[in-house]
Amino acid sequence: LDKLERGDVIRYSITFPEGWTLTQWRALLAKERLLVPLTRELGAADLATDLGMDATNPEGWFSPNTYFFVAGDSDRDIFERAYRRQRELLERLWPDRAGGLPYANPYEALIAASLVERETGLAAERAQIAGVLVRRLRAGMRLQTDSTVIYGLGERYAGKLSRAHLAESNDYNTYMIDGLPLTPIANPGDDALRAALHPAAGDALYFVARGDGSHEFSANLEAHQRAVRRYQLHRAEGYRSTPEPQGAGSP
């Protein structure tokens, strides 16, 4: 402690971008040799239990941020701090949420925030995406978001979705299920959480990726189909409808 107060101890940092999944967090932590690997052998459910979570799946509960540590700290220390920060932020934001949201509890808002995070990489679009999700849920429409399907596929996803993928029956295929997916699909950042709890007003029910990271929003199916045809003509080889989160290729 005396050395730390005098500044004699070297501090290191590790950064987790917004929108990374638990799998990506664990891959990055495994590369950090100065951290003691206390959680490396734990499955997701065991990690949640070890951290004292009510959830059986810890996805979504880790706040993207830069965390500082000293040699000899553990990966569990990082997870614990990230979990505490995400939990406390959600607890602060939930009481001041917009009225009439279709979320029964803070966990459902966390799930929605993860969709917002994965559906757009543009800060200016987060509240708009959140608004589309809210209006579709209120109207009883399926969310039909590619990002949830991709998450459900896990390692089977190779960069391109097929019709067969969209027809699969699982808890994350929002083309096939009503409402939200079973759990968050990524770890959302502060701004995505705020957007989910304060969605933008409007009438848009659809959006399509333009291929440059932005989206075109439409209020009805006819306008959406025109936008889809227009942007499909410009889709380059290897195009993804859901953008990669910043730094996703790092681990």
**pLDDT, one tens digit for every residue, the chain (251 residues):** 555 555 568 999 999 999 999 999 999 999 999 999 999 999 999 999 999 999 899 999 999 999 999 999 999 999 999 999 999 999 999 999 999 999 999 999 999 999 999 999 999 999 999 999 999 999 999 999 999 999 999 999 998 889 999 999 999 999 999 999 999 999 999 999 999 999 999 999 999 988 888 999 999 999 999 999 988 766 544 444 444 444 333 22
User: Residue 239 has what pLDDT?
Assistant: 41
User: Residue 212 has what pLDDT?
Assistant: 86
pTM of the model: 0.89
Is there a contact between 68 and 11 (Cβ–Cβ < 8 Å)?
Answer: yes
User: Residue 4 has what pLDDT?
Assistant: 52
Q: How many residues does the chain have?
A: 251
User: Residue 245 has what pLDDT?
Assistant: 42
User: Residue 238 has what pLDDT?
Assistant: 42
Cβ neighbours of residue 23 closer than 8 Å, sequence gap 6 or more: none
> Of 101, 76, 78, 113, which Cα lies nearest the Cα of 191?
113
User: Residue 232 has what pLDDT?
Assistant: 75
Q: How far apart are CA 162 and CA 182, in angstroms?
A: 22
